Chains A and B, each alone.
Chain A
Amino acid sequence: MSALTERPAGPARPALPAWHAWRTRLATPHGLWLGDGGVWDFGPLPGWQPFGARPALRGAPLHHTSFEAWGQAHAGRACTVVLSGWLVHELLLDPELPLADDRARLAYARGVLQHYHGDAALQWPLAAWQAAGRRGVSALHALSLHTLQAQARQAGVGLRAVRPWWSVALALALQQRPTLASAEAARLLVVDGRLVTQIDLARGGLVGLQQRRLAAPSHAELQTLIDDAHQTVCCAMGHGLQAPAADAAAPPGPPITLLGSLHGEAPAALWASAAGDRWQVLA
């Protein structure tokens, strides 16, 4: 080999040839829900597909023990990871705060998180968001983003996005129940077993976001989260609640519209592919 063709010592070559990288880049991402119990694969996301659009098949999500296991089984694919509420902390920023841009917001949120959670919060990945004028920050505390990215790289899968589940659930609920966006006051409960992310909306604007714990994963406990009856529209979606006994009476209080069953190990769906594809609404 001549001196011209000899490769200088430098960063290692990518493990995959270029066309593999392009295939990964063009692949339709799978929607993955990542919780404590592993990974649930909801199949390719709907949307524009470069090579022959195939309608996404809606089936039961497939369980994998971990993200690494999913990646090894799906080399060359891409994914969007949706994180269970147990993995993230949420911070809704006061609109009065003098924060100029996202960089300032993240720095402010880092200080607040450090105050409450200690120095471990200094390493947490943060993500700023905004909705209808309100801004907030999500913090990923239970997972190393670098590890996730390294596992994806090693398995040859594309990691497109890592999002908290409540944001996906809110978009889905607004699509399923447009009255949520038009009501004077509405509340969406995103149930993750005993952890509930409570989203308060006022005429479509996000006015409240907090994580609340249930004493027991039951419908009766869920009912306590809407004890104040001024909300005209209350919806709940999620998983991990105990199925009520067949002869149990409906819990007292204002009714909650359940978007799908709340009893599975994972969310029933991450998206609704078409307008007609509405879930069976219980209660």
Chain B
Amino acid sequence: MAGFGVSPLSPQPDFLRPMQGPSALAWAWCGTGMLVLAAAGLDARAAWLDRQQAQQRLAAAQQRVDAPRAVMALAGSTSAADGPGSRQAPATRPSTAVPPAELRQAEARRWLQRLAHPWPAVWAASEGASASGIAWLGFDHDGRTSLRLNGLAPDAGLPHEAAQALRAQGDGGGAVWRTVVLSRLERVPEGQRFEITAQLATAAEAPR
């Protein structure tokens, strides 16, 4: 608008507008207030949508946590494989992320198998001959049956002793390891580099 200088101190009587309406500052405040309200409303709506999404994610995650537990409970029972109860847990919580019952049972078996693994015996495998001057370089176990040990010995007799100790390792009910083989023995400047392979005896009996 074209006009004279406007100062808050200078009055502006106008005979065409005898009564002064709300000032420009009041309109500016009003507009600012409306803008703030609109921004707050949009923000609240976004926050509400976020909350809904988070709740959905939480529910889905809860389902994924609950489902394996139910399967493990089923796998632990004797005749749960094809019973009518095996489909109850997924049926109560329908979701596309739940795998078929067979896959879940297999997974549960794998978990149980891993839990039944004789980890103390596996860790003790390298300790049988460690006092005799062998420097162990590698310990390779795939979590099922096979074990491969790499080491460095000052003389050729020590690897044989270590293999013998492995064969003799028992957990009270018999030997832990079978087919213990000193598969490699080579001379290096530092001494004798060797490799021992073995199979876990108990794992062979467990269901695969």
Instruction: Determine whether the beta carbon of B18 is less than 8 Å from that of A126.
Output: yes
Q: Which residue of B lies closest to A169 (CB)?
A: B10
B7 within 8 A of A: yes
Instruction: Determine whether the beta carbon of A28 is less than 8 Å from that of B18.
Output: no
Q: Which residue of A lies closest to B10 (CB)?
A: A171
Q: How many residue pairs bridge A and B at CB < 8 Å?
A: 102
Which residues of the partner chain A approach B10 to less than 8 Å between Cβ atoms?
131, 167, 170-171, 174
Q: How many residues of B contact A (CB 8 A)?
A: 20
B19 within 8 A of A: yes
Instruction: Determine whether the beta carbon of A162 is less than 8 Å from that of B16.
Output: yes
Instruction: Determine whether the beta carbon of A136 is less than 8 Å from that of B19.
Output: no
Given A130-B11, A171-B10, also A125-B18 (CB < 8 A)? yes
Which residues of the partner chain A approach B18 to less than 8 Å between Cβ atoms?
102, 106, 125-128
A279 within 8 A of B: no
Instruction: Determine whether the beta carbon of A162 is less than 8 Å from that of B2.
Output: no
Please tell me the size bucket of the interface on A. Answer: 35 or more
Given A125-B18, A126-B18, A162-B16, also A131-B11 (CB < 8 A)? yes
Instruction: Determine whether the beta carbon of B13 is less than 8 Å from that of A128.
Output: yes
Which residues of the partner chain B approach A160 to less than 8 Å between Cβ atoms?
16
Complex Cα gap A171–B9 (Å): 8
* Segment touching B, from A41-49, A115-123, A230-238: A41-49
Instruction: Determine whether the beta carbon of A132 is less than 8 Å from that of B9.
Output: yes
Which residues of the partner chain A approach B12 to less than 8 Å between Cβ atoms?
129, 163, 167
Give B1-28 as 1s and 0s: 1 = Cβ < 8 Å from A's Cβ atoms.
Answer: 1111111111111111111100000000
Which residues of the partner chain A approach B5 to less than 8 Å between Cβ atoms?
171-172, 174-175, 271-272
Instruction: Determine whether the beta carbon of A46 is less than 8 Å from that of B2.
Output: yes
Q: Which residue of B lies closest to A127 (CB)?
A: B13
Give A140-179 as 1s and 0s: 1 = Cβ < 8 Å from B's Cβ atoms.
Answer: 1000010000000000000111111001101110110000
Given A128-B19, A163-B14, also A45-B9 (CB < 8 A)? no
Which residues of the partner chain A approach B14 to less than 8 Å between Cβ atoms?
127, 161-163
Which residues of the partner chain A approach B19 to less than 8 Å between Cβ atoms?
101-103, 106, 128
Which residues of the partner chain B approach A111 to less than 8 Å between Cβ atoms?
none
Instruction: Determine whether the beta carbon of A102 is less than 8 Å from that of B4.
Output: no
Instruction: Determine whether the beta carbon of A129 is less than 8 Å from that of B20.
Output: yes
Complex Cα gap A235–B132 (Å): 111
Instruction: Determine whether the beta carbon of B4 is less than 8 Å from that of A171.
Output: yes
Q: Which residue of B lies closest to A170 (CB)?
A: B10
Which residues of the partner chain A approach B15 to less than 8 Å between Cβ atoms?
125-127, 138, 140, 145, 162-163
| 28 residue pairs from A and B, CB less than 8 Å apart | A28-B2, A29-B3, A44-B2, A45-B2, A47-B3, A49-B2, A80-B4, A102-B18, A127-B13, A128-B13, A128-B19, A129-B12, A129-B20, A131-B9, A132-B9, A136-B11, A136-B13, A138-B15, A145-B16, A162-B15, A163-B13, A170-B9, A171-B4, A171-B10, A172-B5, A201-B9, A271-B4, A272-B5
